Amino acid sequence: MNELKLGLLGLGTVGGGVLTLLERNGEAIASRAGTTIRVVAAAVRDAGKARPGADTVRLSTRIETVIDDPDVDVVVELMGGTDAARDAVERAIRAGKPVVTANKALIALHGRELFALAKEHGTTVSYEAAVAGGIPLIKALREGLTANRIHSIAGIINGTCNYILTEMSQTGAAFDAVLAEAQRLGYAEADPTFDVGGIDAAHKLTILASIAFGIPLSFDQVKTDGIESVTAEDLAYARELGYRIKPLAIARRQEKGVELRVHPTLVPERDLLANVNGVLNAVVVRADAASPTGYFGPGAGAEATASAVLADVVDLARRGTDAQMPALGQSADLVDSPRPLPIEEAVSAHYLRLRVADTPGVLNAISGALAEHGISIEAIVQKELPPPVSTTTVIILTQPVPERVAAAACAQIEALPAVSDSVHRIRVEHFDE
């Protein structure tokens, strides 16, 4: 049996997971791939550091040493970041070597150029591990649903945000306290900005939307809101109204184009996504034939992500580069693909929380402002505060309206004399309608 030899760029959490899976499941993987798969070289920061399972791996602190190694058949990029990773992947492509990567930012920001370069040099860039960890979501969209016209993708694709909102909802703790606990447990980075700010999920949604709808990789078109503004108060009010607040990534086809947005979202408590808790990921795809389909599992972690990395490696071993389908599932020159829509054209219902003076006529003024913009109210709740507080909290659920209409109505409400603060707005989605 021939042997496929891997060179890893990075031997941290995921790289260690690759070694572990090959050690534990090597025979089964070889039988599925039709060849033995072995890691022969790895680029690391500290070549003297003890690394379990890496005794037979040639370690180097120079990335180019691994890429240029004539013994390396496939380069596996596990470095993270974009600049150095892009240079490394381009070097591997120019050497004619297939690349497997778990780097969602690299694909979201530079995928188009990398795929074109790979085609020019007769090789491929594979990226199953870049989205949703161990869930085989890329393959499902690109191959399993290839006969479908995709209508929408909605999901939880950042486990850190899901953990934080789950804990806040279940314990009533504040955002900062739960974030600190997530960092202690290793669910959040020391600098959590990419996760809690929605950037990580936006990178992943960029990739999914391009595959599903045939649009260019459009990270700069994704409306991205983080979860930092969600309070325990919001989570409690949402529960009273029969909802959960979840960190969703949504791509939805409209007649004029495709909505691309990442933000905290009210989801009915009966919905599948409302019941996915902790660090788990879940994605629901709606299409015209097989619909809905759901994908649930670990979105990160050493072995989960390594599982997706090795799935791409097995594909390479089994089919070779000549049999690979286009990197984003369809021809890049597809002429009738839709365009990404500006967020102002997105349509959703809204949860509004505002603090108002406890005076006669205030609710009429608020509902009048909404009516002027053609916004119907689904529910309204007034939360009286104990004396001597002279203000009250008002919660409103609206019917779906375009984003620009909701923003204009909120601006008008904020200008009312009785409204003492800005309107806190969270989008609401009903996926079964």
Q: Which residues pair with 101 in a beta bridge?
A: 77
- Are residues 257 and 293 both part of a single domain? yes
- Are residues 181 and 115 both part of a single domain? no
- Are residues 175 and 241 both part of a single domain? yes
Provide the residue-wise pLDDT of the chain in tens; the chain has 433 residues.
489 999 999 999 999 999 999 999 999 999 888 899 999 999 999 888 888 888 899 999 999 999 999 999 999 999 989 999 999 999 999 999 999 999 999 999 999 999 999 999 999 999 999 999 999 999 999 999 999 999 999 999 999 999 999 999 999 999 999 999 999 998 999 999 999 999 999 999 999 999 999 999 999 999 999 999 999 999 999 999 999 999 999 999 999 999 999 999 999 999 999 999 999 999 999 999 999 999 999 988 899 999 999 999 999 998 754 445 566 655 545 446 688 999 999 999 999 999 999 888 899 999 999 999 999 999 999 887 666 667 899 999 999 999 999 999 999 999 999 998 899 999 999 987 5
Rounded-to-integer distance, Cα 247 and Cα 226, Å: 8
SS3 286: strand
- The pLDDT value recorded for residue 325 is 54
- Domain stop point among 263, 297, 331: 297
* 334 within some domain: no
The CATH number of whichever domain residue 365 belongs to comes to 3.30.70.260
- The pLDDT value recorded for residue 204 is 97
- Are residues 207 and 84 both part of a single domain? no
Cα of 3 vs its chain's centroid, Å: 34
- The pLDDT value recorded for residue 85 is 97
* 317 within some domain: no
Predicted model pTM: 0.90
Q: What is the total count of domains within the chain?
A: 3
* 400 within some domain: yes
* 77 within some domain: yes
Rounded-to-integer distance, Cα 248 and Cα 59, Å: 40
- The pLDDT value recorded for residue 2 is 80
* 329 within some domain: no
**Sign of torsion over alpha carbons 107, 112, 117, 120:** positive
Question: What separation, in Å, do the N-terminal and C-terminal C-alpha atoms of the chain show?
Answer: 53
Catalytic residue check, 246: no
* 279 within some domain: yes
Describe the crossing of helices 83-94 and 104-120 by its angle, rounded to 10 degrees: 20
SS3 116: helix
- Are residues 268 and 389 both part of a single domain? no
SS3 211: helix
- Domain stop point among 72, 106, 126: 126
- Are residues 162 and 99 both part of a single domain? no
Q: Which of 97, 204, 223, 246 is catalytic?
A: 204
- Domain stop point among 297, 324, 355: 297
Give the residue numbers spanning the domain of 105.
3-126
- Are residues 15 and 61 both part of a single domain? yes
- The pLDDT value recorded for residue 330 is 53
**Sign of torsion over alpha carbons 251, 78, 120, 312:** negative
Rounded-to-integer distance, Cα 220 and Cα 240, Å: 36
- Are residues 88 and 109 both part of a single domain? yes
- Are residues 385 and 282 both part of a single domain? no
* 308 within some domain: no
